[in-house]
Amino acid sequence: MLHSLSVSNIVLIERLTLTFDTGLTVLTGETGAGKSILLDALGLALGSRADFRLIREGADSAQVVASFHVDPSHPVWIRLAEAEIPVDDTLILRRRLKADGKSSASINDVPVSATLLREAGDRLVEIQGQFEGRGLLDVATHVTLLDRAAAHDDILEKLATGWNSWLQAQRNLAQAKRDLEKARAEEEWLRDAVEQLDLLAPQHGEEDELSAERERLANVGRIGESLATADEAAFGDAGAQSMLGRARAALEKAAPLSGGLLDEAQAALERADAELAEASAAISGAGHALESDPARLQAVDDRLHELRQQARKHDCNSDDLSDVHARLAANLAGIEDSAGALASLADNERQWRDYYHQVADVVAANRARAAARLDMAVGAELPPLKLDGATFTTQITDLPPEQFGPLGTQQVRFEASTNKGMKAGPIDRIASGGELARFLLALKVSLEDDATGRTLIFDEVDSGVGGAVAAAVGERLSRLGTATQTLVVTHSPQVAAKGDHHMRIAKTATDDGVISGTEPLDKDARTEEIARMLAGEQITAEARAAALALLQNRMG
């Protein structure tokens, strides 16, 4: 609820702080005292368009601060969480205008845009008839109001789930179709690439092995020459093996005479002879393996060329070709299996679409019944409010498919006609001034079980009426006040007497000019104010008596 309003340098208001309570609060005062200025100031704090003409003459800036006591479960916190404004039990909306044409806004001292300020303000306060396109005059709110009258939140939750799931299913299907179209556009290339890799069958590490083999095959002659030289040096007539034999023979002759002194030398020569024998076998084997094979060399060259060509084609290393092969083969298989996958996605999309429409049909039926009840309830409220020939109609129309959404397939608009035979139309175009305010009062009273947690403010609701009609207006405002905090700017003593709290707005002349101020009234001051409203400037005893009677009958 609105707890306080502080205004600085707004037109006639130099500095003013008001504190509000629950129930119905009435604001009265003579014409021109500043009642509309007070609402204009509040509108600024609620995010209305910045009007720099409101800055008090001679002031550099103007500021309005509206403070609210807000329950942590209030829906406004959901929107403010997106701006990283933490939940608190107090919400302070601040708006500042500067004479140089700049303005700023903040919520709980966090700078915000005027748009966010307005969104928060719309969730906290309804000023009926004061600002175009806000409150009940905003057609976008009508479907929500009708849904609250229908009391089918559980069905609406299913509807939103159905819509979001259908939307996601549509996206999944569309993406799969795009992927398939792209894949099919590349299918010929993909099929050819897989066939080539099938034939090549690349193996990890194959290029290194082939490169080593090619190096060997390309140098058979040089390797053979080296083997022949080694063989001659080791095993020729004057080679190492021959010299080793002569050494062993010499030691064998001297060994018996050495008393064992040559045993170690003989053993070493025996080992050397054995190693030479192994070397001889290895050289011989290498020589046989080095037989020249021009066909094999060509085959290795061809294989290396193909591996490297495929690696360049797929922009990878030859060692990665086996992985590329597997991936491309899987993509090709995916294209071949896509018909089944698409059919499954299409079936899922169709199921969510059918579910959404089934729930939307239930919602539509509920809305039709709620609209009939609402039209009857509002119609019953119109005659006591001096709208005898007026009608109220809830128009429900089907939306085109492209405008379907989480709230269903329908658009809701409240329409009215002020006289018999007049074609119904949007409330704000058919009615004006006091008529509009009373229409909105009748509608709001009919929706009084709608616990939105918003403060209601009515302006000019009693314009052009008096007597029993004004009393009827006051009674309905009092009923609203029992359910939600309600403020009304009024010229009617019958309405003023119904308030739980009473504030008077008055102008005062000072050395600096005329200023507007507001003060809460106690019982005696309230009697005097209502007597003034009844009698004018000259308050009579009869007027005071009538004022007392109105106040005593306030709860009647």
- Retrieve residue 507's tokens: 């102008």
The C-alpha atoms of residue 223 and residue 152 are separated, in whole angstroms, by 93
- The two structure tokens encoding residue 34: 């500043």
pLDDT tens for each residue of 353-371: 999 999 999 999 999 999 9
Instruction: Domain ranges for the chain, please list them.
Output: 2-129+382-520, 187-333
Q: Which CATH superfamily is domain 2-129+382-520 in?
A: P-loop containing nucleotide triphosphate hydrolases (3.40.50.300)
Of residues 522 and 135, more confidently modeled: 522
Tokens of 191: 């099929």
* Pair of tokens at residue 23: 């129930």
What is the 8-class DSSP label of residue 423? P
Name the 3-class secondary structure at 501. strand
Q: Name residue 352's amino acid.
A: W
Residue 218 has pLDDT above 90, yes or no: no
Task: For residue 426, give the 3-state DSSP assignment.
Answer: strand
Longest CA–CA span in the chain (Å) reads 165
Q: What is the pLDDT of residue 132?
A: 52
**Dihedral sign (CA 366, 368, 373, 375):** positive
> Would you call 163 exposed, middle or buried from its count of C-beta atoms within 10 A (0-12, 13-18, 19+)?
buried
Q: Are 428 and 132 in contact (CB under 8 A)?
A: yes
How confident is the model over 484-514, as pLDDT tens digits? 999 998 889 999 999 999 999 887 766 555 5
CA atoms of 243 and 133, how far apart (whole Å): 118
Burial 200-229 (b: 16+ CB within 10 A, else e): bebeeebbeebeebbeebeebeeeeeebee
pLDDT digits (tens, 9 = 90+) for 267-322: 887 888 788 878 877 877 666 666 656 677 788 788 889 999 999 999 999 989 99
* Two structure tokens written together for 8: 């600085």
Of 51, 119, 31, 104, the C-alpha closest to 454 is 119
